Every structure is written in C-alpha cells, then in structure tokens.
Structure 1
Amino acid sequence: MPVRRSRRPRRLSPAGVLLAALGLALSSASALPASAAPEPLPVPVRGSAYLGIGVLAHDGESRSPGAAAATRTEGVDVSAYQGNVAWSTLWSSGVRWAYTKATEGTYYTNPYFTQQYDGAYGVGMIRGSYHFATPDTTSGTAQANYFVDHGGGWSKDGRTLPGVLDIEWNPYGASCYGKSASAMVAWISDFVAAYHSRTGRYAVIYTSTSWWSSCTGNHAGLAAADPLWIARYASDAGTLPAGYTFYTMWQYTSSGPTVGDHDAFNGALDRVTALANG
C-alpha cells in the first residue's frame, strides 16, 4: 500500500492510478513469503476490488483531515488486500472501529474475512462488514441476500455495526455499470430494502459525491434512513450527496500507517456504539 508523503503527490489519471498501485502491490508482495503475500490488488479483476478503489482518481489525493469542529473516532476498513491485519497495533494507535469486506456481487467472499472481522472484535473494536456492489451482474435483492448469508448480518450486541453497501466507481468498466440514473436508484433501493428485511437495519451507504451525482442524478431519497459514509481524500469531507446534511463516517485517506484506508466517525465512541445498537 502507499505510504504517507510530506509533499503533494502528482495527480494521475484513473488508468495511471491503477497501474501505479499494481506496481506497488507487486513489488511489496515479492518481498514476502508466498504464504504471507496479500491479494495482488488493485487490478480490474472481478472479486479483487476494495473499498475506495476509484476515490484516489476522482475524489482527492490522500491528505490528512483538517481540524475537527466536533469529536471524531478513528476507524479503518480492510479487505483481502490487507491480508492478516495487525489489530493490536491498530488498537494501540487509537483505532476503535473497523469494517471488513465480506462479499462482492454474488460470486466472491473475502478469504481473510474471519481473521479480519473476528480479529477486530477480539481486541475490543466495534466492527461491521461491507459489500462491494456490482449492479451490472445481479439484482440488488440477490446481492443483499448474498451479503447477509456470507458475513453481512447484524446483531444487537453493541459491537456490531450495520452492513455497508459500497457503491462507487466501477473498477471493471463503465463508471455507472451501464445503468441510467433511475435504474441505479432502483437497484440501490432494492438492495437496502432487502437488507432491511433480512436484518432489521438500514444499510450504511458508502459512496463519493462525485459518483453519486454522476450515477444516481444526485438522488436525495435515501438520506432519511441510510447513514452516509462519504469517501473523499482531502482535508474536509466536502459537499455531500443530496439529502444529507452530515456524514456518519468519512474515509479520508488510503495511506494510513498500518493499513491504508482510515476513517473518521462523526462523533465520540458512544455514538459509534449507538449506531451499532440501532
């Protein structure tokens, strides 16, 4: 994964971002034993995408957040890219919540899910799981069910966050997965309705404002029920999607010191617990 740099990085095209990251991933993996090498990402292969793959190209350059007007609680999100995660190190650094990729489409489950999901819980974190959406492969309902059946469930134990729908720039093809804005809104609505039916919770929506505006027509109809996890690598979260007056979580960088993707919860730890409890 990339590391923090003291000067402003050069802006790359989306293709350049993927090529540069691929080279870094391959060079890092070559220094590890075969058994320790993480999934070779990011490359546009089904099942290999991770949270925020398109954010660096469209929504910032991995800067640290500016001064906070309100209390924030540090979190991380991980996928197979990170392999076995050093959860105790993250806990010692102040991370108190985490999301782990569980599924993608209806064809992929994270092979490191157990170590990551249970490992976060084991050190005391509040944790949840996320689903990478591929709206061009199967229906929203089918993907919500696949997610719940493979690690995306929820229980009111004070330590389990509601599941996340990761809906963002398509790493495999057309940005909006070949769907019109109305068709995309319908797909997302089907997913969150099915997830709610299965778990009793409304899914968190992870997205960037740029993608949401381009691919849903900046739809405002989901803001009343589904918490927002905004992705923007900058000193502030920026303009939010229509209907949202605040974000619940903000992915602010892909270049954290232990794992890449770091996030700020918009509130103190007791508010993270409140979200977990519904």
Structure 2
Amino acid sequence: MRVHRSGTSLAGAALAALALLLPLTLAGPAGAAEDPGARQVPARGSAYMGMGVIAHDGQGARPGGISVQAVQTEGVDVSSHQGNVAWSTLWNSGVKWAYVKATEGTYYKNTYFTQQYNGSYNVGMIRGSYHFATPDTTSGAAQADYFVNNGGGWSKDGRTLPGALDIEWNPYGATCYGKSQSGMVSWIRDFVNRYKYRTGRDPVIYTATSWWKQCTGNYGGFATANPLWIARYASTVGELPAGWGYYTMWQYTSSGPTVGDHNHFNGDLTRVKALANG
C-alpha cells in the first residue's frame, strides 16, 4: 500500500480504500448469476396461482392460433391472501365463477377456505377448488388424496367445478422441483389419475406455457382429457402448451378491478355450467 504523507493515517487510508471497494463487492461481478441463497424464500403454504407468472413469464403477447369464443365469462381465483372475501361485491361486478385454494403439498390447508368456498356458492357463483402442487415433497397420488380429503372433491350439483391442479414455478426452490421433464410428466399423471379415481372427474390443469415447456418438455399428452387453465398476463393469451388447441380458462391479470386474480372462461355461462356438470 502506498504511504500517504499528507498526514492521513494508514488506518484512514485503508478505510477509504474499503469504502471505494465496498459497492463493487456488494454488486458482485458483472453478469454474475443470482445467489439462490440470497433470494427471499416465502413461507411454506403461502403459494398461490400465478405467483411466478410476472417474475418468470413477463408481459406481452406471443403468436399462436388460439380458438377463442365470442363470449367470455368473468371469474376470480383466491387464496388465504385475500382473507374473507366480499362475494356479493364480486357478484355485482359481473364475476360468475370462482376457484378457491384448498391445499398445498400434503402440509397446508387454506384457513379461509370455508368462507371463500361457501361464500362464493351462496351468492350464486359456480365454484371449484385448486391445489398448489409441490412435486418435490410427496407423490402426485398422495397430494391428490390430500386435496380431495380437504375440499377438493366434486359433486354433480351443477355448481361445483372439477378440481384444478396448479402446477407452475416453485416459489421455494428449483424451478422444476428438482425433477427431469419425464419425471415431472410422471408426477402430473400420478396426480390426475388419482384425482379421477377419487372423484370421477378429470382435473383442470393450470400452468404457464414457458414453465410447461421447460419442466415437461412441452408434453402434449394431457390435452385430450384435462381442461387447460392458462396463465398469461397480457392482452392476448398467446401460445398454448402442446396438445391444447384452445384454453378453457385464462388467468389474464393479477391486478384486476376487484379482489383476487381475474380470469376469462372461454365461453358463456352455459359453458361454465357444462364443465361443472361434467
């Protein structure tokens, strides 16, 4: 170190040098990857539909020939983050269907589920429940059982939609939950088969195209049986995952005019009722 002869002490010079270097140290080298350990990991159970869409999928449209009906029916999805929901307000704003988070993994149940699930029904909505998948914790079959046992069932009453599997970015760790593409497909198949065995219905699959491509290799084998609920926060739905020629539901924003994420059902209210009836 060069000795300062203007009266500045060696200790003072060292501190000055450290002050100059500190911002570079904190910023890290240009282009360095984010340290996963530095990322704020949310509490288990706090995940909800679309949690990773903005962060990972961004905004804007993608090309693709998508079948869209002339009439779309407005719906919402909610979780414990919304607390007690003013369902009458939503109904009066034009929302006619809803999905409520019931479970996550095999370790979490929505503490507001009863108010949200029954409240939406009581104002006249057609409603269903969804499960946030964590394929790195337990098997697909185990999670399907947990879901059905804790609010994810179905009944042919004309007002209950089949359960939905929310399969998307992992908020707690590795994007694809540490699974290979074939391993992820197997996990999803395990879930949907078990859900159908328990309820008689094929569950809806909620996902985003970019995640589906990355984590399943754009597998197209579920399209013939499982309705697609696509997440895309843009003015158009864009490209769909392989196999699906149309979407059944589209989560188009996380910041709608009223509580919860907002969604379009691809058709009028009679189509929503048809899905409920199976």
Same fold flag (TM > 0.5): yes
1:10-89 correspondence to structure 2 within 5 Å:
44-61=42-59, 70-89=70-89
Shift of 1:194: 0.1
Counterpart-to-counterpart distance in 2, 1:52 and 1:160 = 22
The normalised TM-score by structure 1 is 0.82
Report the equivalent of 2:227: 227
Deviations 1:12-52 (A, max 9, x none): xx99xxx9xx9xxxxxxxxxxxxxxxxxxxx6211010111
CA contact (8 A) 1:62 1:255 kept: no
* Equivalent residue, structure 2, for 1:213: 213
Which segments of structure 1 move beyond 3 Å, counting only runs of 4 or more? 60-63
- AA aligned to 2:253 is T
Map Cα deviations across residues 63-117 of structure 1 (whole Å, 9 max, x no partner). 9xxxx76110000000000000010000000000000000000000000000000
TM-superposed deviation, 1:59: 2.5
User: Which amino acid is 2:84 matched to?
Assistant: N
Per-residue Cα deviation, 1:193-224 (whole angstroms, up to 9, x for no partner): 00000000000000000000000000000000
What is the alpha-carbon distance in structure 1 between the residues aligned to residue 112 and residue 236 of structure 2? 31
Q: Which runs of 5+ in 2 are unaligned?
A: 1-33, 62-67
CA separation of 1:254 and 1:62: change in aligned 2, threshold 3 A = farther
SS in 1 for 2:76: strand
Where 1:262 maps in the other structure, the secondary structure is strand
1:251 aligned counterpart, secondary structure: strand
In the alignment, the residues of structure 1 paired with residue 258 and residue 60 of structure 2 have an alpha-carbon distance, to the nearest angstrom, of 15
User: Which TM-score applies when normalising by structure 2?
Assistant: 0.82
Q: Which residue of 2 aligns with 1:145?
A: 145
In structure 2, the partner of 1:91 is 91
Question: Is residue 270 of structure 1 aligned with residue 270 of structure 2?
Answer: yes
Q: Is the 8 A contact 2:69 2:267 kept in 1?
A: no
Shift of 1:258: 1.8
> Between the two proteins, what is the percent identity of the paired residues?
75
| Residue type of the alignment partner of 1:186 | S
Shift of 1:62: 9.2
Matches for 1:98-117 after TM superposition, within 5 Å: 98-117=98-117
In the alignment of these two chains, the number of paired residues is 237
2:51 partner amino acid: I
Alignment gaps of 5+ in structure 1? 1-13, 23-42
Equivalent position SS for 2:117: helix
Structure possessing the higher radius of gyration over alpha carbons = 2
Q: CA deviation at 1:58?
A: 2.2
